[in-house]
Structure 1
Amino acid sequence: FNDDFNVWIALKSLHKTTHLREYVIEKLYALEDDDIDFFLSQFTTLLLSWTKAEGTKLERFLVDCCSKSIHCAIKLCWFLQAFAFNSDNHKTKGRCRKLAHDFELAVVNSERPDVSWRKRFGVQQSPSPTSRRSSCSAESSRRSSRASPNANNSKDAAVDPNEHILRVTSMPPHRRKTSAPPSLVPSSSEPNVQAATATTMNDHSSPSSSSSADVHNNILTRSNSSAMSVNVVNVAIEVKDGTDDRQDGDDLHPNDHSRFLRKEKLCSYFTSEMDLIYLLQEISGSLGLLDKPSRNSQLGIWLNHINRCLPQGLYFPNPHKASEPHYGILRIIPEESFCLSSRDKVPFLLHVEIEYSGLVCTSLDISQALSLSSGGDDNLSSLVSNSETLLKGDKTPEKPQPKVPLVNDHSSALPFGEPFAVRKARIRKASSFGSRPKWDLISVIFKGGDDLRQEHMAMQLILLFDSIWKNAKLPLQLRPYSVLVTSESSGIIETVPNAVSIHDLKKNIPGFTTLSNFFERVWGPRGSESFNKAQGNFVESMAGYSLLTYFLQIKDRHNGNILLDSSGKIIHIDFGFIISSSPGGNVNFESAPFKLTKEHIEVMGGEEDSPAFDLFHLLVVRGFLEARKHWDKIALIVEIMIRGSKMPCFTRGKSSIDDLITRFHIEKSDQECIEYVSLLIEESADNWRTTQYDNYQRVTNGIL
């Protein structure tokens, strides 16, 4: 497959065969960065499912990727942390820790940390992988685990602490306040800092049986072992006689001094990224301890603490493609950030001022744009070291910046809140950074308390379905959004602007009667150009998400998890129940192929003599036929992720994959599939179990 080699062939070969592995891995170097970045979770899962000997070549490839990209290294370290936390195999935990160490060391030194690297720079052999700490992360780390009432009964209680995975995010690094380059030798005695309990954004469905205390048992466990006796900043300086007493880069050859400063920037960038995420985790957990009325004001106070210490140049590595433009965070806007409605967890939405750097995310040069805060001794690491300063400190918030009065000339804008473009213009006008030509505004949701790897996999599949239909020129509309895994219990989710859940529309719009009536009120009478356009968007998105719901068996489809945007498109969110899991202990009450209520059908003009409904039927048929041509790619993503996974969507094991493949009916002819899809639509239309599930959510959780 020399001429036709691509990432799909690579993944299939690595997953299915053993004799081609080395050859395939060598060919990975020729693939695009975007392809590798998209499948980092699959490559990580494959690597950890093989023995150390089997994975040598793939490990070397990933280390090489990290040596060229901080973006890649950060995401890999977070994946490893999540994977290790959910593994019962202590050797796997130790292996994850070694990999995290090597990935970090690779990006800081911009090269592979192998034996030749050690010899070249006169570095002594480091301790064993299970006792070795990460280079940057080992610097004066002050992390320990939250005491758990079940600690004495924990499986890990009798395990050597050196076996615990290095918590790259939960134990972020921080630099010593000395003029000497940072040492990698940790402090021998470090005070405890309580771990934050955190939670998920949407809790309308049945809660998990495990408590947040169980989830966070040992989350901040640190190794008591000694660190590598390596100075990360000085490793690039050749030492002829094995010693070097130069301090802070003094008297260095100009080339050595340049490398010294570059490595210091790389280490600082990696460190600061980890610090920022850790602080957001701490905030999420601490908000859960407060009463709801005081959460938003306290969130603003804590974000002000972060802003005072925030280096400019950091970013959230969450774009869909690694080749997308890199940006630096200028400021998290406290007065525009708020906690989201949730039953017992506290996600929060952040509006963030950014400035594009002119680089792509995979460039190592993004670290060179790092500008430390002007807060004197205050920096992110000092907040991490003394997180009580952040969580119990100054209770006087900064004076909010004045807001520009909102002028809204769009009659359809009110139901969907302030249009994002208007909000951006308002914030830019009031911001001290607004005059910068590359200024922009983003909004994200920080979600704590959940392992978002399943959500991340779901978004990979949605992106794949979306590309399949776009490449076939089919107008089925999906709205993928980025999901960034930042630990085993936290992540960052891209927001969907100008969209509101159907539940919120029904609850907050005065005089709301039916969805069909709402369309006419917002977009004009049936038959008008604006109504037809909105109805067309509704039909195309309904067709896309109906097929997605059927193939992936997406459950918990109440109206709090379905959005409507200002163009009339339906958008599904929250994929906590997919493949083979469902609310209520997998009772599978939502047995209809997909959600197609009487309300949805009314928007399309009914089932009889309705061009819009006929179009919906046609698009579902065409989308089904096109998707099944690519069933093997869809199944491959899921099949790889099931290796050693404890994601709830795989509770039925291999049968989950078999059932997924069966739903494509690859044995049927096209004509048989057309008839089958017609039956799916007929079964879903105004299905009584769908109606009863909505009634249940209305009675128990108040979801309209």
Structure 2
Amino acid sequence: QEVLLKVKLQSGEVPADYPGCTSPPEKEESEEQQRQEEEEDQTTCSPSSPQEVVVTPSPSSSSSSSSKQSLLLRLFESKLFDVSMAISYMYKSKEPGVQAYLGNRLFGFPDDQVDFFLPQLLHMYVHMDPDLGDALQPYLVHRCGASVSFCLLSAWLLAACCSDSSLSAHRRSRGARLRKLILAPPLGHGPPAPDPGPSGPSGPSGPRSHQRSKSDTTAAGERPYEEAERVRPQRDFLRALVSIGRRLARLPSKEQRSARLSAELRLLNLSLPGRVWLPTAARPHHVVRLPPRQAVVLNSKDKAPYLLYVEVLDCEDLQTSALPLRIPETRLHHAHSAEELAPAGLGNLSAVVNYDDDDEAWATDDLGQLRVEGGSSDDLTSQFSVDSGTENAEPVYIAAGDIRRRLSESLALPPSSFRRDPEDPSALALKEPWAEKVRRIRESSPYGSLPTWRLLSVIVKCGDDLRQELVASQVLTQLQSIWALERVPLWVKPYKILVMSSDSGMIEPLVNAVSLHQVKKQSQLSLLDYFLQEHGSSSSEGFLSAQRNFVYSCAAYSLLCYLLQVKDRHNGNILLDSEGHLIHIDFGFILSSSPRNLGFETSAFKLTAEFVDVMGGALGDMFVYYKVLLLQGLLAARKHMDKILNIVEIMQQGSPLPCLQGPGSLRGLKERFLLSLTEEQLQLQVERMVEASLRSVTTRLYDGFQYLTNGIM
């Protein structure tokens, strides 16, 4: 309907069946009625009014122009108009009035819906005309003033965007100005959102007022530097985590990296708890501890991404809730309830020098010069300072059970069929069931007895531009919502991506999942035999459930790989979870890019004989069902393809990302929806793609190449 409406809007027609749009004036209407309607359409408003979408035509303009503008306003006020359509029209419209109206409409959408398109909004702000930037700025500044998380996400994306060498100086300075404005706005700054007026957008509780008083933004006498203190602790904390990854990459062996990682985290723990949090988590919380022995370095030939486990305490509000008191490691049983945790005397994390160079943030190579202000000597006690011998110091007693538990934590193998592998230290940690890991870490944590305690995890990456991963994740999330809307039982697992710069960021890990490479290396079994070992005989309920999950997920990711042309599909980039789902990760090569630009993987998606064996063989019912799901999923995606194309098209504007270079990437994506084929023809095309992928020589050769060069099975 949306595509049809666009065509009819351009031709001056009105779709009679479109909700929210009235029928065009009948020919029998009097000329006086038509003249009155045209005068209403030509009414102009102040720049902040939503009616600005109706631009006064010049005297030479025809009445059809006014009619089109009126229809556009009706579309914007219809019930089907959502944030995706708003951003699409904002991108395509060249009228400042339309852009200003749509920028104002953003206030009426739920925050989480707008947050999904934050990369597109900031990309348009930097790369498109200043009128669009002026339309977006009130919303961006308002949201940044109201939310520290939104402010930091925007600042990091702007920093990544402005670091592109191909960006002009004018556009770079525009992005830099906005970044400075949202990070450290001057006293009393923060322009109020335009008054939406009586017919403007409203939230669930009616029209909102966006005027922020002086008391809401800064206290009397505050300076811009003090305003930045609200974001400084979190920026410093995440910079420290990235800096650790950069230092780990300089070490030659995985053993050295693992030992260094544990030592770095012990040092970092000296400044916790703090008013810091994991941006990949949904609920508000304060980070209280990073278990040093639980973090693991992931497989990478040249870089050192690492998996970090984080202990947090849930809170009501990140900025106003009192920080918990630091509990030294040697006093495991001294706090048993939340009532014993008074507000922390330890100074907040902003006491650490804020270096502009990420490599200098928080910790230094000599480990031990971290500067913390405002804390007592007891606050800074670590597990290494128990026998300090200081006179008049309060004796510390450690129960024998605590010692045994800590030794068990560091030495004992968690329940798992995997073995310790010095070349792949993450395999055993990832194989351990998440519930068991949470129980084990909670028992050994000084904060574990508190009711608001939770365990989170995050992957810290350095040396990779995650903006491409972010685009793929957005497409995956859109496909997930499309398939749910169309009731197609395909299964995918989107994960959160945090872009911190053009070469660093964080990724939400997938729990209870290991790579196919780790499965094959550790078990020395075929994929089908591994399924039988993990889930029972082929006729058991456990196996049949896992097999269905495998089919649902394999079909979904096959479509994603086909549409986005995902490459580098070796077995280290494909996971298998404990319920049988197949999950693709690492979307560093999509659309027009491939490893070393060779374009070697030519199949539509990765489908091996082992995958088919798990589905019951080429003649089995589940393999037939797999092909049915491919057809249903492609038909559903084709029906809503504009939602996917908009994500890619906006990010293509002036983008330096290899996957978006040239017009061919977007054109190829459109062509892969196969709009010219009937449903019967599409079914035959799906059959051909499955057959070609299953027999692909390049898939087998690429797997062999990865085994010979990187040891990936």
- TM-score class, shorter-chain normalisation, is 0.7 to 0.9
2:352 equivalent in structure 1: 382
1:198 equivalent in structure 2: none
Counterpart-to-counterpart distance in 2, 1:383 and 1:661: 49
Counterpart-to-counterpart distance in 2, 1:435 and 1:477: 36
Contact 1:265 1:370 in 2 (8 A): no
Q: Name which of 387, 390, 393 aligns with 2:367.
A: 393
Q: Name which of 228, 252, 261 aligns with 1:291.
A: 252
Contact 2:273 2:286 in 1 (8 A): no
Counterpart-to-counterpart distance in 1, 2:580 and 2:687: 25
Q: Which 5+ residue runs of structure 2 have no aligned equivalent?
A: 1-74, 195-212, 327-343, 370-380, 385-402, 420-426
Q: Could you tell me which amino acid in structure 1 is paired with residue 274 of structure 2?
A: Q
Contact 1:564 1:570 in 2 (8 A): yes
Answering whether residue 307 of structure 2 is matched by residue 349 of structure 1, we say: yes
Answering whether residue 161 of structure 2 is matched by residue 94 of structure 1, we say: no
Q: CA distance change for structure 1 residues 346 and 418 in 2, over 3 Å: closer, same or farther? A: same
Contact 2:527 2:610 in 1 (8 A): yes
SS in 2 for 1:358: coil
Shift of 1:694: 0.9
Q: Could you tell me which amino acid in structure 1 is paired with residue 315 of structure 2?
A: S
Shift of 1:531: 0.9
Q: Name which of 64, 74, 84 aligns with 2:142.
A: 64
Counterpart-to-counterpart distance in 2, 1:556 and 1:110: 50
Contact 1:592 1:687 in 2 (8 A): yes
2:339 equivalent in structure 1: none
SS in 1 for 2:406: coil
1:467 equivalent in structure 2: 481
Q: Which deviations, in whole Å up to 9, do the C-alpha atoms of 1:648-699 show, x marking residues without a partner?
A: 1113x11110000000011222222122112111211132221111111111
Contact 2:280 2:458 in 1 (8 A): no
Counterpart-to-counterpart distance in 2, 1:99 and 1:370: 31
Q: Name which of 366, 385, 393 aligns with 2:319.
A: 366
Q: Which deviations, in whole Å up to 9, do the C-alpha atoms of 1:224-283 show, x marking residues without a partner?
A: xxxxxxxxxxx958xxxxxxxxxxxxxxxxx99966799998643301111112212221
Counterpart-to-counterpart distance in 2, 1:332 and 1:104: 27
2:86 equivalent in structure 1: 10
Counterpart-to-counterpart distance in 2, 1:38 and 1:547: 22
Shift of 1:426: 1.0
2:663 equivalent in structure 1: 654
Answering whether residue 520 of structure 2 is matched by residue 517 of structure 1, we say: no
SS in 1 for 2:311: strand
1:579 equivalent in structure 2: 591
Counterpart-to-counterpart distance in 1, 2:273 and 2:436: 28
Q: Which deviations, in whole Å up to 9, do the C-alpha atoms of 1:192-234 show, x marking residues without a partner?
A: xxxxxxxxxxxxxxxxxxxxxxxxxxxxxxxxxxxxxxxxxxx
2:549 equivalent in structure 1: 537
1:692 equivalent in structure 2: 701
Q: Name which of 305, 321, 328 aligns with 2:267.
A: 305
Shift of 1:367: 5.1
Q: CA distance change for structure 1 residues 111 and 434 in 2, over 3 Å: closer, same or farther? A: farther
Counterpart-to-counterpart distance in 2, 1:575 and 1:355: 32
Counterpart-to-counterpart distance in 2, 1:461 and 1:630: 12
Counterpart-to-counterpart distance in 1, 2:707 and 2:529: 21
Contact 1:287 1:299 in 2 (8 A): yes
Shift of 1:15: 1.3
1:130 equivalent in structure 2: none
Answering whether residue 492 of structure 2 is matched by residue 478 of structure 1, we say: yes
2:643 equivalent in structure 1: 633
1:38 equivalent in structure 2: 116
Answering whether residue 236 of structure 2 is matched by residue 271 of structure 1, we say: no
Contact 2:234 2:275 in 1 (8 A): no
Q: Name which of 224, 230, 243 aligns with 1:282.
A: 243
Q: Which deviations, in whole Å up to 9, do the C-alpha atoms of 1:417-467 show, x marking residues without a partner?
A: 211111101111111111221110011110011111111111111111111
Q: CA distance change for structure 1 residues 376 and 33 in 2, over 3 Å: closer, same or farther? A: closer
SS in 2 for 1:700: helix
Shift of 1:491: 0.5
Q: CA distance change for structure 1 residues 495 and 388 in 2, over 3 Å: closer, same or farther? A: closer
Shift of 1:473: 2.0
Q: Could you tell me which amino acid in structure 2 is paired with residue 39 of structure 1?
A: F
Q: CA distance change for structure 1 residues 257 and 94 in 2, over 3 Å: closer, same or farther? A: closer
Q: Name which of 422, 425, 428 aligns with 2:442.
A: 428
Q: Could you tell me which amino acid in structure 2 is paired with residue 16 of structure 1?
A: K
Contact 2:465 2:502 in 1 (8 A): yes
SS in 1 for 2:286: strand
Contact 2:164 2:656 in 1 (8 A): yes
SS in 2 for 1:366: coil
In the alignment of these two chains, the number of paired residues is: 554
SS in 2 for 1:486: strand
Q: Which deviations, in whole Å up to 9, do the C-alpha atoms of 1:121-166 show, x marking residues without a partner?
A: xxxxxxxxxxxxxxxxxxxxxxxxxxxxxxxxxxxxxxxxxxxxxx
SS in 1 for 2:176: helix
Shift of 1:639: 0.3
Shift of 1:14: 0.9
2:395 equivalent in structure 1: none
Q: Could you tell me which amino acid in structure 1 is paired with residue 623 of structure 2?
A: F
Q: Name which of 547, 558, 569 aligns with 1:546.
A: 558
Counterpart-to-counterpart distance in 1, 2:546 and 2:348: 51
Q: Could you tell me which amino acid in structure 2 is paired with residue 687 of structure 1?
A: S
TM-score, normalisation: structure 2: 0.72
Q: CA distance change for structure 1 residues 91 and 75 in 2, over 3 Å: closer, same or farther? A: same
SS in 2 for 1:542: helix
1:607 equivalent in structure 2: 618
Contact 1:639 1:657 in 2 (8 A): yes
Contact 2:516 2:571 in 1 (8 A): yes
Contact 2:459 2:508 in 1 (8 A): yes
2:102 equivalent in structure 1: 24
Counterpart-to-counterpart distance in 1, 2:504 and 2:191: 29
2:18 equivalent in structure 1: none
Contact 2:236 2:361 in 1 (8 A): no
Contact 1:310 1:372 in 2 (8 A): no
Contact 2:127 2:171 in 1 (8 A): no
Shift of 1:65: 1.6
Contact 1:84 1:96 in 2 (8 A): yes
Q: Name which of 382, 401, 406 aligns with 1:402.
A: 406
Q: CA distance change for structure 1 residues 259 and 516 in 2, over 3 Å: closer, same or farther? A: farther
Q: Could you tell me which amino acid in structure 1 is paired with residue 104 of structure 2?
A: E
Q: CA distance change for structure 1 residues 378 and 298 in 2, over 3 Å: closer, same or farther? A: farther
Contact 2:270 2:382 in 1 (8 A): no
Q: Name which of 428, 435, 453 aligns with 1:439.
A: 453
Shift of 1:506: 1.1
Q: CA distance change for structure 1 residues 488 and 556 in 2, over 3 Å: closer, same or farther? A: same
Q: Which deviations, in whole Å up to 9, do the C-alpha atoms of 1:388-444 show, x marking residues without a partner?
A: 853213499945981666797898999862111111011111111112211100111
Q: CA distance change for structure 1 residues 356 and 593 in 2, over 3 Å: closer, same or farther? A: same
SS in 2 for 1:556: coil
Q: Which residues of 2 match residues 180-199 of structure 1 at below 5 A? A: none
SS in 1 for 2:460: strand
Structure scoring higher RCO (CA < 8 A, sep ≥ 6) equals 1
Q: Could you tell me which amino acid in structure 1 is paired with residue 105 of structure 2?
A: K
Q: CA distance change for structure 1 residues 538 and 699 in 2, over 3 Å: closer, same or farther? A: same
1:332 equivalent in structure 2: 290
Q: Which 5+ residue runs of structure 1 have no aligned equivalent?
A: 117-234, 238-254, 360-364
Counterpart-to-counterpart distance in 1, 2:273 and 2:711: 43
SS in 2 for 1:390: coil
Shift of 1:547: 0.5
Q: Could you tell me which amino acid in structure 2 is paired with residue 81 of structure 1?
A: A
Q: CA distance change for structure 1 residues 110 and 529 in 2, over 3 Å: closer, same or farther? A: farther
Contact 1:66 1:103 in 2 (8 A): yes
